Amino acid sequence: MSFYKNTINKIHSFITYENTFVTITRLLASLAFLISAIGKIIAIDNFEVFVFSLGFFSFDFSSIATRLLIGLELFLSLAILSRIYNKLINVLTIIILLGFTAFITLKLNNSSEHCHCFGDLIELNNTQTIIKNIILIGLSIVLIIFGKSTKYKLPYTLITTILLFAIPFIASTPDVFIYNQQTENNVSNVEYNPEVFYEYYNSNDSLKQYKIMCFISTGCDFCKLATKKLNVIANKTNSTNKIHFSHWSSNSRIKSFYKELNVSDYTANTIEPNKLLQITKGSIPRIFLIKNDTIFKVYGLRDMNEEIIIEHLRN
């Protein structure tokens, strides 16, 4: 009973440490960063492809950077809520928000894609995102002027910070860790049927002009992600004409598929579902790298190696 009372008293003291206005301001700022982090974790695949599509980083680095950004948002959410280094944390928050606002204004001004600020939970256009950032900057200014700081022991602070930055990596392991481990162990989990593939490949001479053949379904979310990733790589190497897609779908759906993803209109054809399932052994997407009419590499979504694909397309 005494433990219960002590807990209630601590919560009450925490809430009443600042006046109601400042407490509400603190809760709103903390909640905004928490929702942003959770939204990105839920849709982390889409978020990392978006960061990759900006063209600044390789996909491997993009997958790491996205998780570090989510970790930063989790840290800011807890740091703001706990009042640790109140002025320093809120000055840092303002600097980060100003940086993101400048980036959106300069880089994404003409982009139709949302910036994934809240993952796919809430889709904001660029103008709405800038307004959101201005509001958060205003909240941080209020906390700098009227907020109070609470001191915590340094070891606890460091351990908590490390754990917060680790959460995104635990929730979703970056693909680079997966295929690096497979490379080291000389193991691949990608299954396919080479006999059925070559039967399909050799039945149509027009397919032999392509360096990459993809087998996907327009209704498959993993296929959409693979297509987006390949599209970024193809645009980097100016190689959209070297990639062919075989779709489990209708011709009309293929057109809308590319439009929905906002990617290049690749050469594509439909394939009978049974044939696709035989080639891929029931798992899609499957990406075949072809060299001299022979399978060079086969990838699924998670083990796509950007460096090898770029080198293959350029040679």
Count CB neighbours of 13 within 10 A.
9
- DSSP conformation class of 186: T
pLDDT of residue 184: 46
Q: What is the pLDDT of residues 165-210, one digit of tens each?
A: 999 999 988 887 766 555 444 445 688 999 999 999 999 889 999 9
CB crowding 250-288: b at 16 or more within 10 Å, else e: eeeebeebbeebebeebebebbeeebbbbbbeeebbbbb
The phi, psi pair for 162, rounded to 5°, reads -60, -45
Give the mean model confidence (pLDDT) for residues 204-229.
91
Round to whole Å and give the CA distance between 104 and 47: 15
Give residue limits of the domains in the chain. 2-172, 179-314
Q: Is there a cis peptide before residue 285, judged by omega within 30 degrees of 0?
A: yes
Write the single-letter amino acid at 254.
I
How much is the mean pLDDT over the chain? 86
Residue positions counted in the chain: 315
1 pLDDT above the threshold of 60: no
Statement: 179-314 belongs to CATH 3.40.30.10? yes
pLDDT of residue 141: 96
pLDDT of residue 315: 83
Q: What is the pLDDT of residues 261-307, one digit of tens each?
A: 888 778 888 888 899 999 999 888 999 999 999 998 999 888 888 88
The phi, psi pair for 214, rounded to 5°, reads -115, 135
